[in-house]
Structure 1
Amino acid sequence: MRILMTGAAGRVAAMLRPRLSRPGRTMRLLDITPTSPGDREEAVTADVTDPAAVREAMEGVDAVLHFGGHSLEKPWADILHVNIHGTQVVLEAARQAGVTRVVLASSNHAVGFHPRGEQVPATLPPRPDTYYGVSKAAMEALGSLYHDRFGMDVVALRIGTCDERPPDVRALSTWLSPGDCARLVEAALAATGFHIVWGISANTRRWWSLDEGHTIGYVPRDDAERFAPALIAEHGEPGPAAPAHALLGGEFCVRELGASW
């Protein structure tokens, strides 16, 4: 099996690559930044907005992990070209190559202006907090379109805070461990149909429901709670009205729109 991973030089991809490696699987790494391939890896230096380059990279591929694009807020023109147009380029190249399985790296920022709640479902409609959030809502819409039009199996992962450990108190609720991220991707690669799923670990304090993840076979194993005493001692508990805890997008909802972060 050969999997094309876009954005392969990025931070989340770097955590995923060793966890997704296994005999019988080749990871084809695509990024505008040159990457050094390891065992069972191939590297392609290309831009996700270049249709010809992406079509060439799609040859012989069985599935796509689309992690390419800007990972933080940028001016609108940059977000439109790289994140939105780039996603359409990847999906269209997959369609043309007969690749029917695509996993999209969406984000909680597609729904960032929704207030936090108890076990919020992944079916929450878009309410983006930034141009970046708009691009993730558009990514989900494009995935839905390519599923309904062409029968592609597409899973959009609304990823929270994916890191080796939660960086702050808010992340005790939104953390996705690298190990659980890999388990989520594996479940998404086996799923059929179109799904939007929260990218979150089994955190004691989680705001988001795991029900949709369970539907595709995702069973997280990690819980951010073991980091809670140290983080709370260092940072304290934010007030409930603070954007970091009041809204799903946190501080993205109050930062300058369209500025490069």
Structure 2
Amino acid sequence: MKKLVLTGAAGRLGSYLREPLSQMCDRLVSTDWTEDIGKLYPSETYVKADLGDLEAMEAVLDGADMVVHFGAIGDEAAWDKILHSNIIGAYNVWEAAARKGLRRVVYASSIHAVGMYPKTQRIDTEVPHRPDTYYGLAKCFAEDLGSLYWDKKGIESVHLRILSAAQVNNPRALGSWLSYDDLIHLVQQAITTPITGFCVIYGVSNNDRVTVDNHKAAFLGYRPKDNAEQCAEEVLAAADPADPHDPGQMCQGGPFASVEIGFSGTASMNIVQDKKEI
């Protein structure tokens, strides 16, 4: 590819994607709304841009083959904040992609689009949406937007319903963990698969306790290698007894399923901010 765009490049997941994506194209344009992201990789440039600004998105996507869209508020938040970055931002990315003739959008969706399903029900990629928050609702919107733009404008999209791409330090993560290596593999497969149309795939590693089913997305060639079971003994020994009446423990969305709408779902998750440094 000549040009690839990565939104959300300043984020934790973006920090792990920048180098491998820069090796897949002649030019990687990383973008976020911070002033800069520090040292750049050899084929990488950085552009500060607001997802809520359609003209800015058109400028960033001009001449690109594909966009890997990881930019958004990565937590539950007040409606107006989710609306600007996660909903209007998604529309602007797809509309700019259509106007600039991009072939495909690779989108960081989330388990929170279906977060209210119980973990005792193994769900596939075709279950109806069941969001757990405004954040999850925005992911539902973007998935439906991708379907619409495929049907009406012929733009392919791969929607990566990421479960939990963070260190394994709680019982839920034993089934939901997505390692950084598997994340990179997942995104690479979403980019290089010859034909995708519109599709959804769960972003999760090869965990023994996984609660979702990717068999309908097998054509993407995503074959995760890592397994959170290596952490099970230590994590379970340190955990409080499970409460079967707590939606945060019973539902796919974890703490997002139990918080009040508009309030942080990550506040109680003890996520380690281990961004990759160049």
Counterpart Cα distance in 2 of 1:189 and 1:50:
25
Alignment length (residue pairs): 260
Paired AA for residue 168 in structure 2: P
Task: Find runs of 4+ consecutive structure 1 residues off by over 6 angstroms.
Answer: none
From 39, 44, 49, give the equivalent of 1:46: 49
1:259 aligns with 2:263: yes
1:237 and 1:226 map into 2 onto residues whose CA distance is 20
When the two chains are superposed, the root-mean-square deviation of aligned CA atoms in Å is 1.6
Q: Which residue of 1 aligns with 2:242?
A: 238
Task: Give the SS at the match of 1:157.
Answer: strand
- The answer to which of 52-61 and 32-41 deviates more is 32-41
Is the contact between residue 170 and residue 244 of structure 1 (CA under 8 Å) also seen in structure 2? no
Alpha-carbon contact 1:35-1:45 (below 8 Å) kept: no
Q: Is 1:14 the equivalent of 2:15?
A: yes
For 1:139, the equivalent position in structure 2 comes to 142
Give the Cα separation in 2 of the matches to 1:245 and 1:121: 20
Contact 2:19-2:41 within 8 A present in 1 as well = no
Structure-1 residue corresponding to 2:275: none
Identify the residue that residue 231 of structure 2 maps to in structure 1: 227
Q: Could you tell me the percent identity over the aligned residues?
A: 40
| CA distance in structure 2 between the aligned counterparts of 1:238 and 1:173, rounded to whole angstroms | 15
**What amino acid does structure 2 have at the position aligned with 1:88?**
Y
Q: CA deviation at 1:138?
A: 0.4
Mark the runs of 5 or more structure 2 residues left unpaired by the alignment: 268-278
Distance in 1 between the 2:138 and 2:161 partners?
A: 12
* In 2: Cα distance, 1:130 partner to 1:232 partner: 27
- Is 97-106 or 118-127 further displaced after alignment? 118-127
1:5–1:65 CA contact under 8 A, matched in 2: yes
Label 1:111 to 1:85 Cα distance change in 2 as closer, same or farther (>3 A). same
Matched residues in 2 for 1:166 and 1:19: separation?
23
Q: TM (normalized to structure 2)?
A: 0.89
Partner Cα separation in structure 2 for residue 217 and residue 68 of structure 1: 25
CA 1:257–1:24: 2 relative to 1, 3 Å:
closer
| TM-aligned CA deviation for residue 253 of structure 1 | 1.6
Structure 1 position 241, deviation (Å): 3.6
Asked if the contact 1:143/1:154 (under 8 Å) is kept, the reply is yes
- More moved, 245-254 vs 114-123: 114-123
Structure 1 counterpart of 2:212, one-letter code: W
Amino acid at match of 2:6: M
Residue segments in structure 1 that go unaligned for 5+ positions in a row: none
Counterpart of 2:187 in structure 1 is 185
Q: Secondary structure at the match of 1:162?
A: coil
Alignment-mate amino acid for residue 64 of structure 1 = V
- 5 Å-filtered alignment, 1:60-71, equals 60-71=63-74
Aligned positions of 1:1-261 closer than 5 A:
1=1, 2-22=3-23, 24-33=25-34, 34-36=36-38, 37-117=40-120, 119-163=122-166, 165-191=167-193, 192-236=196-240, 238-260=242-264
**8 Å Cα contact 2:4-2:25 kept in structure 1:** no
| Residues 222 and 213 of structure 1, relative CA distance in 2, 3 Å threshold | farther
